Chains A and B, each alone.
Chain A
Amino acid sequence: MISLAFYGLTALLFAAALLVILSKNPMSSVLWMVVAFFAITGHYVLLNAQFLVVVNLVVYAGAIMVLFIYTVMLLNLSKDSEPRRSLLVRLAGIASGGLLLTVLVGALRRSQEAATGDLAQVGATSLVGLVKPLGLVLFRDFLLPFELSSALFLAALVGAVALGKKEAGD
């Protein structure tokens, strides 16, 4: 049952990811990206990482993709305004991506003796992904990075507003 859900979510994730990078219209890329994020959220459900499920839905599928959709609509993009790379460059890019995949898989295959435990069992029974244990780790061991990230967010907010507002001369 769990492996059926795993393979279904994986197929959905790869179909959506390939459609993100291959579709001509930027708006369909963004919408397929939302599908890909939902598939990743499904993987977090399988790992029993409940905190990450909520955060992934709110931050990625919610906030970030809304920003993308607003930008695509604001810039008035369509299939006609889509810049294209030449066929040679696209073939070279696909070959480079495939070679990267081959190298990484080949390197990993040689170092894979140890990790053969049943993660499905571990994931379904592991309690580290619940909100309470993660909150204890976050606010006890990672309090300073957490506060620093709030300062980073304030800086990003101010920077986005400063970049986005029209200058007086426009």
Chain B
Amino acid sequence: MGGITLDHYIYLSVALFAVGVTGVLIRRNILVMIMGIELMLNAVNLLLAATSAYRGDGEGQVFVFFIMLVAAAEIAVGLAIITMIYRNTGSIDVKDYNRLKG
């Protein structure tokens, strides 16, 4: 099998990112689409952490920490918006979310 190199982590992250993009494209359930976005964020996090360990520099892992913070805030607000829209429309289909135009 050989050792695990940075290449392994790069291809792993790219493939995970592609899975997240596919999830956003093929689903219409807004919750699953947000989960696809989370998969993409985690692919980027994994690549940053691997590069940070590879180069022996801690700043990449601090950046992963900040990405996690922003993702947590994003999810809190996003799920609140979804709950509010579901209360008004009774749907989690993105097709019904076009009334956000103000």
Chain A residues with a Cβ under 8 A of chain B: 2-4, 6-7, 10, 13-14, 17-18, 20-21, 26, 29-30, 33, 36-37, 40, 43-44, 46-49, 51-52, 55-56, 59-60, 63-64, 67-68, 71-72, 74-75, 77, 81-85, 89-90, 92-94, 96-98, 100-101, 104-105, 108, 112, 115-123, 126, 128-129, 133-134, 137-138, 141-142, 145, 149, 152-153, 155-157, 159-161, 163-164, 166, 170
> Inside 8 A of B5's CB, which chain A residues have their CB?
115-120
Contact B80 A163 (CB under 8 A): yes
By the criterion CB–CB under 8 Å, are A138 and B1 in contact?
Answer: no
Beyond A3-B3, A14-B19, A152-B73, whether A64 also contacts B32 by CB under 8 A is no
**Pair A149/B53 contact, Cβ less than 8 Å:** no
Contact at B59–A82, with CB atoms within 8 Å?
A: no
Partner of B58, one of A98, A120, A133, A145: A133
Q: Number of contacting residues on B, CB 8 A?
A: 73
Question: Are A20 and B35 touching (Cβ within 8 A)?
Answer: yes
Among B4, B26, B52, B75, contact of A90 (Cβ-Cβ < 8 Å): B26
How many A-B pairs fall under 8 Å by CB? 258
Chain B residues with CB under 8 Å of A117's CB are 5-6, 54
Using known A-B contacts A49-B49, A104-B18, A119-B4, determine if residue A134 contacts B61 with beta carbons closer than 8 Å: yes
Residues from chain B with Cβ under 8 Å of A100 in the complex: 17-18, 21
Known: A74-B83, A97-B25, A138-B65. Is A128-B19 also a contact (CB below 8 A)? no
Q: Which of B20-62 contact A (CB under 8 A)?
A: 20-23, 25-29, 31-32, 35-36, 38-39, 42, 45-46, 49-50, 52-54, 56-59, 61-62
Is B49 in contact with A44, judged by CB distance below 8 angstroms?
A: yes
Known A64-B75, A129-B53; contact A56-B11, beta-carbon cutoff 8 A: no
Chain B interface residues toward A at CB < 8 A: 1-12, 14-23, 25-29, 31-32, 35-36, 38-39, 42, 45-46, 49-50, 52-54, 56-59, 61-62, 64-66, 68-77, 79-84, 86-87, 91-95
- The CA of A13 and the CA of B57, in the complex, are separated in Å by 26
